[in-house]
């Protein structure tokens, strides 16, 4: 009994230590330092309450550190949101591969990216990957050394934005609030766009419900299939 308990404790400890942080941004120009222009937490834990204000740009129980930097990004460029298990981890330590689920990115136009909390309206989704041919979005990120590829639209207005990158782990999602949501916000300045499109926007919190079919799901006993595909949560993807 004691042996079994120890094994259980060990496996829980492993799970807890294998969360993830979007901690670094790479543009076509430069790979920025860890935490440069990104509000990173020191602890890598998830948010699990989709109605929390901390769903926007993370927060307690994972307090984030502000950054006074804003990263220039050229419209139409593809950037990488780089994910790591901890702020010190390398590319071989992205997240526990047992963490399976969708990957998404959102933008919000702001007047001052270093000051805006991100909470509330203005968000639109610019990238998503769910479950295709047995591969989860998280698998793609882990297998590419932690790189989430995000194309910055070239049809929207230039200026300052928050870039919110998100990975969702569904291993515990068979019960309500069992999905683990990981997100951080980078502070960017989109340059070179002559676009004027104004995407339809949503509020965070507000993009997800705890019973969304993509968040309340038993991926082990009732995995998505071709006839019952995985439904990525959140608003429709914005495209130019």
CB of 182 to Cu ion, least distance (A): 8
Q: How many CB atoms lie within 10 A of CB 216?
A: 18
Q: In which residue are the tokens 């550190």 written?
A: 65
Residue placing its CB nearer to Cu ion in the complex, 120 or 178: 178
Subset of residues 8 to 27 that bind Cu ion, contact rule: CB under 5 A? 19
CB of 18 to Cu ion, least distance (A): 5
Sheet bearing 120-129, strands edge to edge: 71-74, 180-191, 159-169, 103-109, 120-129, 202-204
Residue placing its CB nearer to Cu ion in the complex, 19 or 125: 19
Give the span between the Cα atoms of 83 and 94, in whole angstroms: 6
CB of 17 to Cu ion, least distance (A): 8
Give the angle 115-119-123 at the CA atoms, nearest 5°. 100
CB of 111 to Cu ion, least distance (A): 34
Residue placing its CB nearer to Cu ion in the complex, 45 or 223: 45
Give the span between the Cα atoms of 104 and 201, in whole angstroms: 15
Q: Does residue 84 touch Cu ion according to CB under 5 A?
A: no
CB of 149 to Cu ion, least distance (A): 22
Residue placing its CB nearer to Cu ion in the complex, 85 or 109: 85
Could you say which DSSP state residue 88 is in? T
Residue placing its CB nearer to Cu ion in the complex, 19 or 109: 19
Q: How many CB atoms lie within 10 A of CB 11?
A: 10
Residue ranges that bind Cu ion, judged by CB under 5 A: 19
């Amino acid at each position: 009994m004691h042996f079994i308990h120890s094994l259980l404790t060990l496996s829980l400890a492993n799970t807890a230590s294998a969360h993830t942080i979007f901690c670094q941004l790479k543009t076509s120009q430069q790979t920025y330092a860890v935490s440069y222009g990104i509000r990173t937490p020191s602890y890598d834990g998830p948010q699990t309450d989709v109605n929390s204000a901390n769903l926007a740009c993370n927060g307690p129980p994972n307090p984030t550190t502000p950054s006074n930097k804003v990263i220039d990004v050229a419209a139409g460029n593809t950037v990488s949101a780089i994910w790591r298990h901890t702020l010190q981890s390398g590319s071989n330590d992205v997240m526990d591969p047992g963490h399976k689920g969708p990957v998404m990115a959102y933008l919000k136009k702001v007047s001052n990216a270093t000051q805006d909390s991100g909470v509330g309206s203005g968000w639109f989704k610019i990238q998503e990957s769910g479950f295709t041919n047995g591969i989860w979005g998280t698998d793609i990120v882990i297998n590419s050394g932690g790189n989430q590829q995000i194309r910055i639209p070239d049809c929207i207005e230039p200026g300052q934005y928050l870039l919110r990158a998100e990975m969702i782990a569904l291993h515990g999602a068979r019960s309500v609030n069992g999905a683990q949501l990981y997100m951080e916000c980078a502070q960017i300045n989109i340059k070179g766009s002559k676009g004027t499109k104004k995407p339809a926007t949503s509020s965070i919190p507000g993009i997800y419900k705890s019973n969304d079919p993509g968040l309340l799901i038993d991926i082990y006993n009732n995995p998505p299939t071709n006839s019952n595909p995985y439904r990525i949560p959140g608003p429709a993807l914005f495209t130019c």
